[in-house]
Structure 1
Amino acid sequence: MEAVQRLVGLRREGRSGEAHALLVEAAYWPAARFPLLAAELQRAGLGADWATLLWEAASLPADRLVGAADALVAAGRTADGEQILRQGVARPAGEIGEAVLALAAEGRRREISALLDAYVRVRTPEEAARSVAADPQQLVPLLLEAAQGASDECHWDLVHALRVAGFSA
């Protein structure tokens, strides 16, 4: 893969800023390229660059984030797919809520499920409760469904956090 060869050359020449710029650019490539890129980076001894690329990709818009995670899981890189989702849900609660609403408007139920599943597993119930502010009527049921899928304890903790935050659960 040409990009990996360029990256090897940049690393060899000590041009880390340009190498990082290439990784940022690669984060926006089509999701289907991620598994091949991962394999090529590992083969070239650039595992740290793969970790950087995953970190950069975590800031992708929610639909692209889930697409990248799906491509990695489908290629047998489940840990990488889970990692990118965990990192991706570290964004502010309001952004998560807006992202879910945008996905819902497009009928992208599976992406909503993947995003919220990671979200309720990584964030505190109080943080998760804050994500429903944009449209509680639509977001509360989706969030509760994700929490129930995670565990009974997660579900009950979220119900309590929603009630404390003033949202009926």
Structure 2
Amino acid sequence: MDKSWMTKDRLSKEYANGVDMFIAFALDYTTNPERMLCPCQGCLNLKFQTSIEIKYHLFSKSFDQRYQKWILHGESYPTRASTSGKTTFVKAPMYEEDANMVEMVHDAFEFYKEDPKSFQSLLEDAEKPLFLGRTKYTKLFALIMMFVDIGT
């Protein structure tokens, strides 16, 4: 699928056509056409929006250039491949620094596929501050830090 439109000027016809193509592609894949993850630079696939809001965000905030493999919008997720008897993950050409986060979100999405409202609630909870009036640390951050501490 051609994604060259993502780097075009947001006022260009190529960008406008690309946004329309992306939204149509995502709508074909989604289980909830009313609310989808928004891939703009502000939402970073962490917030659910309507297709109209996503279109507005993609023009006003731009498409996140690091999101090259649209695994949260219908493209196939990297699969396991066998190399010399060992099973390894085929790495997706996307966020190097955020690969684990994307994998966690994908796993949560798969777990909640039959209950999109619970998945949406999970993502909304992830943005809530851990302490009232303190936005630096979120519930998700605290859970990840606990997970990291347990794993080491």
- Relative to total residues, which structure has the larger helix share, 1 or 2? 1
Given the two structures, how large is their TM-score scaled by the length of structure 2?
0.28
Indicate the structure whose relative CO is greater, using CA pairs within 8 Å and at least 6 residues apart. 1
Given the two structures, how large is their TM-score scaled by the length of structure 1?
0.26
Which structure would you say has the larger Rg? 1
